[in-house]
Amino acid sequence: MSYPELKALEGDISTCFRCSLCKMVPLPVFKSREFADICPINSHYMFHSYSASGLGYMALALSEGRIPADKALADIVFSCRTCGYCDMACNFIMESKRNEINMTLRETLVREGLAPDEYKKTVQNIKNTGNPAGLTNIKAGDWAYGLDLKKLPEQKASVLLYAGCLARYDKKAMLSARQMAKLLIYSGVDVGILGDDEKCCGLPAHWAGFKDDFKGMASVNADLFKKAGIETIVTVCGACLGTIKAKYPKYGVKTGIEVLHATELLERLIKSKKLKLRKPLNLKVTYHDPCYLGRQSEPFAEWKGEEKTVFGQMKYTVPPREINYGTKGVFDPPRTILKSIKGLTFNEMYRIREYSHCCGAGGGYAQAYEDMSLKAAKERIKEARHVGADFMITSCSHCKAQFEKANASMKSEAVNVLDIIDLAFQAADIN
């Protein structure tokens, strides 16, 4: 069996010299020995296969025909949370494509029929119902009931508020979407929604490695966005932002429309004084950078060129390939909002921005990986507590739901969790 997509990445795979940076925070940004591990799967399983380096060498072995594509391999590969940290760590010292290697290996195993059953069901649910939970009794636009928002494309608006799937069935995510809509209306933004026509951004299919299905979902959404006649898409959820802004173009789907996260637009409104956060909130908070709002939302830079080798092993590209350092994600706007709220005590955690620790919710849900996934969330909650925070603030519905799930078994160590939209809404003090 030949695997041409893996074959094309053999050069990148071979650059790994097992430095283990993909498992821990790089020393120049190291702040705490207790909170230095960063790869969720390696921290849990404590074995080299469960790391970007290990996954890369297994991909190489599969490409060269030295190991088979089987369930044993799939069990390791699909445990990865696809958080993308390994890219940032490896690019700290060399040019690499660690996350692309991981995803290509996953996509290869999907084509071999080795995806977990839960992943297959989630993708089929999106195709059948437009949402990963497969819900048919709740419509995509129910979250906006009574808000009198414009319905696109029948009506016209410059801004589309994209609520995301969790706003269908998670009451807290629904509340965040409603509060974001109220903040925009209050600030005079010309905003509309797709209502019941809104479909899943497709991220669960990307997480699962169903490349062709993801591209199809992205294309359907891109057509919907273009027909809406909008200038800007604003996502409530950080995961949706990274998907539409960075993953769609990477898989060849371009919208030609500005894509912002709610925090980016709120920052603009605060700076232009169209939104004032008047009410003091005396809370001790920290902020969690979601993977797909942060490092995974760096705009995709297409590269066409040639890879060359000198001295038998040193590789370089002509023209030079732009390196993704993860620094161009959405990091500052949430912090601007927090610093604009009077009364807040804001302390940063140790692993932040492009080196943020994953909450464990990404990568696709499978029962086999639940303990590992929740362990990642619990470690992050402990970190929040360690810096003196009573509230963990985040900008992603998936992260928020994951932390709340982990909180359930943490008793006195638990931390309050808030979406930053909810916090801004409280500070704006509007109805």
Residue 196 lies in a domain: yes
pTM for the model stands at 0.95
* pLDDT(313) > 80: no
Given this model, what pLDDT does residue 234 score? 98
Task: Judge contact between 26 and 355, C-beta under 8 A.
Answer: yes
When pLDDT is cut at 50, 70 and 90, the band that residue 49 belongs to is: very high
For the record, the structure tokens of 86 come out as 């390994």
Q: For residue 381, give the 3-state DSSP assignment.
A: helix
Instruction: For the chain, give the percent of residues with pLDDT over 90.
Output: 84
> How many domains is the chain partitioned into structurally?
1
Domain ranges, residue 135: 127-271
CATH number, residue 224: 1.20.1050
Residue 150 lies in a domain: yes
Residue 323 lies in a domain: no
pLDDT, tens digit (0-9, with 9 covering 90-100), for 65-87: 999 999 999 999 999 999 999 99
pLDDT, tens digit (0-9, with 9 covering 90-100), for 81-129: 999 999 988 888 888 889 999 999 999 999 999 999 999 999 999 999 9
Residue 36 lies in a domain: no
Given this model, what pLDDT does residue 324 score? 86
Given this model, what pLDDT does residue 280 score? 97
Given this model, what pLDDT does residue 417 score? 97
pLDDT, tens digit (0-9, with 9 covering 90-100), for 150-182: 999 999 999 999 999 999 999 999 999 999 999
Instruction: Answer whether the bond into residue 26 is a cis peptide, omega within 30°.
Output: no
Given this model, what pLDDT does residue 245 score? 97
- Whole-angstrom distance, CA of residue 406 vs CA of residue 381: 8
Site of tokens 């992603």: 396
Residue 308 lies in a domain: no
Query: Number of helices (H) and strands (E), helices first, in the chain?
Result: 19, 11
pLDDT, tens digit (0-9, with 9 covering 90-100), for 358-400: 999 999 888 889 999 999 999 999 999 999 999 999 999 999 9
Residue 325 lies in a domain: no
When pLDDT is cut at 50, 70 and 90, the band that residue 317 belongs to is: confident
Residue 159 lies in a domain: yes
Residue 279 lies in a domain: no
Rounding to the nearest 10 degrees, give the CA dihedral for residues 225, 227, 229, 231: 20
pLDDT, tens digit (0-9, with 9 covering 90-100), for 238-272: 999 999 999 999 999 999 999 999 999 999 999 99
Instruction: Answer whether the bond into residue 153 is a cis peptide, omega within 30°.
Output: yes
- Whole-angstrom distance, CA of residue 300 vs CA of residue 175: 31
> Which of 358, 297, 352 is closest to 39 using CA atoms?
358
For the record, the structure tokens of 133 come out as 């939970």
